[in-house]
Chain A
Amino acid sequence: MQSRERMDKRITNGIALGVIWLAALATVGALGTILLYVVVNGIGQLTPAFIFGWPHGVNMDGGIWPTIQATLYVTALAMLITTPIAVLAAVYLAEYAVQGRLVSTIRFAADSLASVPSIVMGLFGLSLFVEGIGMGFSVLAAALALSFLLLPIIVRTTEESIRAVPKYIRWGSYGLGASKWQTVSRIVLPSALPRITTGVILAAGRAAGETAVVIYTMGTMINAPVSPLDPGRTMPVHLMLMAQEGINMPAAYGTALLLVLMVLGFNLTARYIGRRNRRMQG
């Protein structure tokens, strides 16, 4: 009968929507639990002595400054190496490419690189940069290995940003007699720049948190790298080693918190730039 059907429909609807709410709640809950746990246990460690001090002793008491420096250094270097190549590659794919076997292959390769397990990338970096070319454990080797990992990510976000630039803006440029490169470099790229920047900053956050790639290319030595050929230990590597050793847990918690704060910082900055851009455009 009609009213019973209507009631069944509504009951199922209610239950299903309830489940969906639960799913969303579980997701937010998971994030909240992890963040809360790291913050509560690590906040006591956030003293200037911890952030700027050096570790000493068998169990790495003291501070973690060299790891912070190593993390920032390798992230900056990796972004410097990847971004120009990735942006230009995205320009090609978005503006110049014609659908065909070559473009298909490039996309497949980019997708493959994006899904490489990071430990495979780490062994790759070890084999090619550390041993093959002979750089030894170094910031440069790690940055090069990381840049292969980040390349497809930045290409994807840059390509989307470029495609999001409305077509008629380009037509105006061409109509004025500009060449393709003039259009791209003076009109399209600057217009897409905020979104490109967002993508780059998010990729930097990913680079800062990488462990498996860095451990086989930069080593595990406590060192504050100065030249790109210096080895070093980054924060994620330090966290892993502290957690595995298990003796100095406070240092582990402090490192975890600082790392999460760093990544959060990247995330929020990217989001802020994105929002500012949208507000300006809207």
Chain B
Amino acid sequence: MRLRRLGALAVALLIVASSLALAGCAKSGGASQTSLTVTGSTTVLPIAEVAAEDFQTANPGKRVLVAGVGSSAGIESVSNGTSDIGTSSRDLKPEEKPLGLVDTKIALDAIAVIVNPSNPVSGLTKAQVSEIFQGKIKNWKDVGGPDLEIGLVNRDEASGTREAFSKFVLGTADFDPTAAVLPGTGQVRSVVAQAAGAVGYISLGFVDSTVKALAVDGIPANEKTVADGTYPLWRYLHFFTKGDPKGLAKAYIDYILSADVQNTVVRDAGFLPITEGGK
């Protein structure tokens, strides 16, 4: 008999759980007549997802479905019509140019090389950065700093930031395999902030007072140098559409380009807004 009571309790728990779920379910959107499919880069994903959520709240009845599969997959799916917008963290390759895609740049991604604030080094050449991250330079004294071992901090291989950094700085060379591999921007930042000899790289938008961003090839890393293109480590984030954007796609893209979204969602994700008259 007590067994039966336990069974009833279990069922009751399930009912309670489900009803709480339905109560919390109020946030999810309902059915819609117009829907938009957005696929592509995992780097752009945070912007696309959050903007989609807010866009749906502001435009009830419209659905925006976002997925992160990779820049190449995104470009391919928008060119063959599987999705309405293809997001990408890279430019079109030469063989992709004739596909008839129209590029709308929606944000700037700049990568800053960061060190501990106590590190007197304030700038490096791109070659030096490359050699440090390949493990060829192992001590700060070899680049004009104190006699301190370099603590190399790398990102995980799934990271878009790592991919971009590798392309900008290393070219075809490999990262030092003995570097620590950390799975998140915030971790890289806090590790560098707390270890005197550490060096790592994060999106410029996430640099705060706990770390110091180095100048690369003499150019300091800040919004102005990124906007005028002098800082070497940057790239655009793209939304590609087949032909000019129109209809719901245009509304969504305009929404993302609006000052409000640019200054909140884009910055929250660690990127920089596309400024008026920027390159």
- Interface residues of chain A, those whose CB is within 8 Å of chain B, are 52, 54, 56-59, 65-66, 69, 72-73, 76, 79-80, 189-190, 193, 197, 224-226, 243-249
Contacts and interface: CB of A to CB of B under 8 A. Distances in A.
B21 A225 contact: yes
B53 A76 contact: no
Contacts of B53: 56
Interface in B221-279: 265, 268-269
A79 B14 CA distance: 12
A246 B184 contact: yes
B116 to A, nearest CB: 16
A57 B50 contact: yes
A25 to B, nearest CB: 29
Interface string B13-39: 110011011101101000000000000
B21 A69 contact: yes
A190 B2 contact: yes
Interface of B: 2-3, 6, 10, 13-14, 17-18, 20-22, 24-25, 27, 46-47, 49-50, 53, 182-190, 206, 265, 268-269
Which of B21, B183, B206 has most chain A Cβ within 10 Å? B21
A244 B20 CA distance: 29
Which of A58, A65, A76, A197 has most chain B Cβ within 10 Å? A58
A54 B10 contact: no
A247 B225 CA distance: 25
A29 to B, nearest CB: 24
Contacts of A244: 182-184, 187
Nearest to B14: A76
B184 A58 contact: no
A66 to B, nearest CB: 7
A197 B6 CA distance: 10
B20 A58 contact: no
Contacts of B189: 246
A245 B187 contact: yes
A246 to B, nearest CB: 2
B2 A193 contact: yes
Which of B13, B24, B183 has most chain A Cβ within 10 Å? B24
B47 A226 contact: no
Given A58-B50, A66-B24, A190-B2, A245 B17 contact: no
Given A57-B50, A69-B20, A189-B3, 19 more contacts: A54-B27, A57-B268, A58-B47, A66-B24, A69-B17, A69-B21, A76-B14, A76-B17, A193-B3, A224-B21, A224-B24, A226-B21, A246-B188, A246-B189, A247-B184, A247-B185, A247-B206, A248-B186, A249-B186
A249 B210 CA distance: 15
B183 A226 contact: no
Contacts, number: 68
Given A54-B27, A80-B10, A226-B25, A245 B50 contact: no
Contacts of A245: 184-187
Given A58-B47, A72-B17, A224 B187 contact: no
A80 B6 CA distance: 10
Listed from nearest, the 4 A-B pairs whose CB atoms lie closest are A246-B186, A245-B184, A246-B187, A247-B186
A36 to B, nearest CB: 21
Given A245-B186, A246-B185, A58 B22 contact: no
B46 A58 contact: yes
Given A58-B265, A246-B189, A65 B50 contact: no
Nearest to A61: B268
A76 B13 contact: yes
Contacts of B206: 247
Contacts of A56: 50, 53
A76 B190 CA distance: 37
A77 to B, nearest CB: 8
B205 to A, nearest CB: 11
A65 B24 contact: yes
Contacts of A58: 46-47, 49-50, 265, 268-269
A125 to B, nearest CB: 21
A72 B16 CA distance: 11
Contacts of B190: 246
Nearest to A247: B186
Contacts of B186: 245-249
B236 to A, nearest CB: 19
Contacts of B17: 69, 72-73, 76
A214 B278 CA distance: 45
B20 to A, nearest CB: 6
Nearest to A70: B21
A8 B27 CA distance: 74
A235 to B, nearest CB: 14
A40 to B, nearest CB: 18
Contacts of B46: 58
A250 to B, nearest CB: 12
B48 to A, nearest CB: 10
Nearest to A241: B184
